[in-house]
Structure 1
Amino acid sequence: MDILSIFTGMLWQIFTSPTLVLILVGSTFLGIIFGAMPGLTATLGVALLTTLTYGLDSQTALLALLAIYVGGVYGGMYTAILLNIPGTAASAATAMDGYPMAKKGQVGRAFGLTTTSSLIGSFIGMIFVALLSPVIAQAALQFTSYEYFLLALFGILISGSLTSPDLAIKGWVAGLFGIWLSTIGQDHMQMYPRFTFGMHELDNGIDVVPVLIGAFGMPQIMSVLESKMKMGKMGSSFGKLLPDFKTMYKNTKNIVSSALIGVGIGAVPGIGEDIAAWVAYGVARKTNKNPEEFGTGKAEGVIATATANQACVGGAMIPLLSLGIPGSPPAVMLLGALMLHNIAPGPMLLKTNPTFIPEVTAILFAAAIAMWICGMILSKQVIYILRIPQTLFMPLIAVLCVIGSFALGLRVFNLYLMGIIGVISYFFMKLRIPIAPLVIGVILGPMADTSLRTGLKTTGGSLWPMVERPISLALVVIILLILSSQIPAFNKLIRYLFGSVKRALATSS
């Protein structure tokens, strides 16, 4: 039985069964809600739904879990565009241009572009899962500890460079502060407590969700209540809710490159959708004719981040299915759910269950369709949130932030943590220091810390292997170029060299 027959057969089974359609739509809708509400991430949604699928067969359970995963990654864009409060870390990059579009009265256009880009990104990710998973999984296997460390450092640096309004070093400071926060608690190698100051609540480290809510939610709430903002053009002009196909067609190259970035980064175990979105945003900005317009409500930025986010879901499935290594935090929960249903992902999966990967591909296709339909329907309703004066709406968001922080482990300490991070982020915002690199640092910090220390132990403290391998050497060169780009003399030298080459070519011709 070939791949196409299994794929179409699974789709027929899903869409001809009212029960499966109800589970598909309900799980996708629930995922969108989890993604949109601060703190209720796709990871938490998959974790909570896993316990409810224990009595279901493996195919039905997988349908529900993948649907809530796809919906959760997409749902974070709602609050990112409407309120500049990303529901998930992956949607933080979408807020860069999505929120300015909303302030211009283009909420409907932003939703249409994001939803359609997410659909296309899901399709491209699905294709890679079905056809190229062995190739990409083999490439991911080439990463050693130093590559993981350099990739984490690259993600923090590029996030700081792209989000800082004036000096990139401000973004790097925020990212390094996030890395320091991630080192609080017992280290992952020797279980020795660091920076806990005798507080047992810090032994397990800093939870990401309270940091995410405190960093993005609290400063926005405080600034709105401080300025007593009232509705202006944002509430009076929503624009078209239908997809802007003309703009999508003009961004064909942007969509393809962003999707490939999403799949590639998703295939690297442990990275996740947030880095994919920032890298795609950076590439779109660098290759655009008017990069200075990014951050002011440019459609290209919204399209790039949304496409990469959803393509990363397919990318994260590649190492999960082929190697048994999850490619993102939600995929970690999905791995546990598969094992709960006696499915062991890994190299032997193709022999023990040869139809499994085509079935997963079909489920991803169905989940993408459900996400687009639910997304377009909800977009028409969610925009009415803008009719509520923000001074009345923000206290409700504050309550949801408190619930989201407390729901993680039911720890009161997380509320204190959210408040402290919120106050720090508020002053960061006043000092024009970007907040996103702080959260990225907290997320990637453990991987950077563990990978660097593992690499040093493996090589006896030597850093030479970092420049001896092609992949790590390429990352080192890119990082050095990013750092050097902030040195005026280096920029002058580059401009002089480019000018000399250009003049030489002109003379020879």
Structure 2
Amino acid sequence: MALQYLAQAFGAVLTPMNMGVLLLSTFAGLIMGMLPGLSATMAVALLTGLTYSLSSTSAIISLIGVYVGAISGGCQAAVLLNIPGTPASAATALDGFPLANRGKGGLAIFLATTSSCIGTLISVICVLTLTPLLTKVSLQFGSWEFFLLSLFGVIICGNLTSNGNAVKGWISGVIGLLVAQVGLDQLDAYPRFSYGNVNIMAGLALIPIMIGLFGFPEIIKAFKKTETHVLEFSPFKLKEGFGVLKNHIVELIRSSFIGVGVGIIPGVGEDVGGWLSYWASKSTSKHPETFGDGETAGVVSAEAGNNACIGGAIIPILSLAVPGSAPAAVLLAAFMMHGYRPGPLLMNESPEFLYQICVDLFLAALAMWLLAQVVSKFSVKILGVKKEILMPVIYVLCVVGSFVINHIMFDVKVMFVFGIIGFFLSAAEFPAAPFLLGVILGSMTDSNLRRALTISEGSFMPMLQRPISVIFLIVIVVLILSQFHVFDRLKKRKANG
């Protein structure tokens, strides 16, 4: 029966009409992912409204295509400009941009897009085989687990991006968590730090903050006259790229499964999947000091992890009707709009839908890879343009990208303010990535901590009585102590004792 459903799904997609829809939607996703400000969530949301007139099969194909394309497309801006096209690509910029500055922008983009493709393909297998099993694990996550998971993400990010000074990374992440508290809180809808301003009361939009933190410092640096030459490119061949991937096959597979696991947990998202995958590769590497300086394993891990989250995020949609990420939430609404009812009864009511989704993901990943290779031949030439010419254009794109979120000038002001903050963070060698992740996870941290304390009447004891929470606590404490070399001192005492 499964083979019959797979054959029907392939037959439905491989018609001229639906293949055209797939290619166009994936290409649109790539472009929207590349442009800072046009997130994967926005890409899926914009396309949802355009699918009313399409058949349900064509509509689902187009939505999956734009989702895969947008998550992967963000890596190109991250590599070429150090401005992540989407928050999911923030980890990719750490090593992708240094590679591009060494004339290996083509190689970096190839590694990123190929890893994205493979990560998505591995996630397809997981959607097919692990949907019933893994959703049981996600159901064990309560408010305490989500709170500790968000802290875990900020601490990991601070460790990875701080160049040996983890405290600076943690401070940056905590500031991001505090910024996320601005606006109406999610439990009582009480305005915090808004001072009567309606725009602030609505909260500070993520995309303008991201553009400001990453875009402005690069624009300002470009006018310091530190670079007086046009970048020379090293010739890049597919054989070289596949050779590098072959050397990182362990990181590729591990990151893909980490991404799937993160995607299954509702509300976490692709950005956390990228960071956790990056952390796993750095922490197990024989040369962790090379990460952040153009390490190819960093690019491979981050992109395999964030794209594998797509399949992971779809698993709880199909099984529980609970989205695993923000773009997946829009996708869930689109499924319902087109007559599907995701949830525990899906396999009884529409068993063919699972196989259709898997085939759509599989073909969208291949289409994304082919289109990305074509697009990169043109996009990589951006690095050859003098930055004094390029950066004013980037500034205009930053302004437009911030404005199109809500179509208000307030978001442009937010982008400018956080651009100045990003510049001073960069000057003081405080990493911007933990700040951004703190903003992303801030609402989850706040709402889950307050909900947990409300249920327990202010007691922290329930946190210590839940096995998953205890595991998170132990890992967090170990991560913090390791940065202060506590374990190294203990080893020396034992050796000397």
TM range (shorter): over 0.9
* Rounded Cα–Cα distance in structure 2 between residues aligned with 1:252 and 1:237: 24
SS in 2 for 1:429: helix
Q: How does 1:273-288 map to 2 (within 5 A)?
A: 273-288=270-285
Q: Which residue of 2 aligns with 1:217?
A: 215
SS in 2 for 1:343: coil
| Per-residue deviation, residues 151-178 of structure 1 (Å, max 9, x unmatched) | 0010011001100123111111111111
After superposing the two structures, state which structure 1 stretch, 285-294 or 481-490, moved more: 481-490
1:13 matches 2:12: yes
CA contact (8 A) 1:484 1:490 kept: yes
Q: Which residue of 2 aligns with 1:155?
A: 153
For residue 446 of structure 1, what is the amino acid of its counterpart?
Answer: S
CA-based RMSD:
1.5
Structure 2: 5+ residue runs without aligned partners? none
SS in 2 for 1:339: helix
How far the C-alpha of 1:228 sits from its partner, in A, is 5.9
Q: Which residue of 2 aligns with 1:3?
A: 2
* Rounded Cα–Cα distance in structure 2 between residues aligned with 1:90 and 1:400: 19
1:313 matches 2:301: no
| Alpha-carbon distance change, 171 to 202 in structure 1, aligned in 2, over 3 angstroms | same
After superposing the two structures, state which structure 1 stretch, 73-82 or 246-255, moved more: 246-255
2:29 to 27, 31, 35: 31
1:138 matches 2:136: yes
How far the C-alpha of 1:122 sits from its partner, in A, is 0.7
Q: Which residue of 2 aligns with 1:506?
A: none
How far the C-alpha of 1:327 sits from its partner, in A, is 0.6
For residue 410 of structure 1, what is the amino acid of its counterpart?
Answer: H
| Alpha-carbon distance change, 39 to 280 in structure 1, aligned in 2, over 3 angstroms | same
| Per-residue deviation, residues 216-269 of structure 1 (Å, max 9, x unmatched) | 11111111123363444x334353355622222222211111111000001000
After superposing the two structures, state which structure 1 stretch, 442-451 or 243-252, moved more: 243-252
1:389 to 386, 389, 407: 386
Q: How does 1:229-240 map to 2 (within 5 A)?
A: 229-232=227-230, 234-240=231-237
| Alpha-carbon distance change, 242 to 32 in structure 1, aligned in 2, over 3 angstroms | farther
How far the C-alpha of 1:494 sits from its partner, in A, is 4.6
1:449 to 438, 446, 449: 446
Q: Which residue of 1 aligns with 2:245?
A: 248
CA contact (8 A) 1:196 1:202 kept: yes
Q: How does 1:83-482 map to 2 (within 5 A)?
A: 83-227=81-225, 229-232=227-230, 234-240=231-237, 244-482=241-479
| Alpha-carbon distance change, 324 to 495 in structure 1, aligned in 2, over 3 angstroms | farther
SS in 2 for 1:408: helix
SS in 2 for 1:226: coil
SS in 2 for 1:461: coil
* Rounded Cα–Cα distance in structure 2 between residues aligned with 1:350 and 1:235: 55
For residue 7 of structure 1, what is the amino acid of its counterpart?
Answer: L
CA contact (8 A) 1:108 1:242 kept: no
Q: How does 1:34-45 map to 2 (within 5 A)?
A: 34-45=32-43
Q: Which runs of 4+ in 1 moved over 6 A?
A: none
| Per-residue deviation, residues 391-447 of structure 1 (Å, max 9, x unmatched) | 111111111111111101111110111000110010000000000111101110000
CA contact (8 A) 1:229 1:391 kept: no
* Rounded Cα–Cα distance in structure 1 between residues aligned with 2:80 and 2:271: 19
* Rounded Cα–Cα distance in structure 1 between residues aligned with 2:439 and 2:106: 33
CA contact (8 A) 2:217 2:422 kept: yes
How far the C-alpha of 1:496 sits from its partner, in A, is 4.7
* Rounded Cα–Cα distance in structure 2 between residues aligned with 1:62 and 1:359: 9
CA contact (8 A) 1:107 1:239 kept: no
For residue 67 of structure 2, what is the amino acid of its counterpart?
Answer: Y
| Alpha-carbon distance change, 370 to 186 in structure 1, aligned in 2, over 3 angstroms | same
For residue 9 of structure 2, what is the amino acid of its counterpart?
Answer: M
Report the TM-score when normalising by structure 2. Answer: 0.97
| Per-residue deviation, residues 3-35 of structure 1 (Å, max 9, x unmatched) | 2321232123222x2111111111011001111
* Rounded Cα–Cα distance in structure 1 between residues aligned with 2:459 and 2:102: 53
Number of residue pairs the alignment of both structures matches: 497
For residue 102 of structure 2, what is the amino acid of its counterpart?
Answer: K
* Rounded Cα–Cα distance in structure 2 between residues aligned with 1:11 and 1:375: 23
For residue 448 of structure 1, what is the amino acid of its counterpart?
Answer: T
SS in 2 for 1:177: helix
* Rounded Cα–Cα distance in structure 2 between residues aligned with 1:96 and 1:241: 23
| Per-residue deviation, residues 65-115 of structure 1 (Å, max 9, x unmatched) | 110000000001101111111111111111111111111111221122112
* Rounded Cα–Cα distance in structure 1 between residues aligned with 2:34 and 2:280: 26
For residue 41 of structure 2, what is the amino acid of its counterpart?
Answer: T
For residue 224 of structure 1, what is the amino acid of its counterpart?
Answer: A
SS in 2 for 1:485: helix
For residue 261 of structure 2, what is the amino acid of its counterpart?
Answer: G
After superposing the two structures, state which structure 1 stretch, 98-107 or 443-452, moved more: 98-107
CA contact (8 A) 2:144 2:469 kept: yes
* Rounded Cα–Cα distance in structure 1 between residues aligned with 2:175 and 2:336: 37
How far the C-alpha of 1:203 sits from its partner, in A, is 1.1
For residue 372 of structure 1, what is the amino acid of its counterpart?
Answer: W
For residue 162 of structure 1, what is the amino acid of its counterpart?
Answer: L
CA contact (8 A) 2:104 2:233 kept: no
* Rounded Cα–Cα distance in structure 2 between residues aligned with 1:494 and 1:328: 42
Structure 1: 5+ residue runs without aligned partners? 504-509
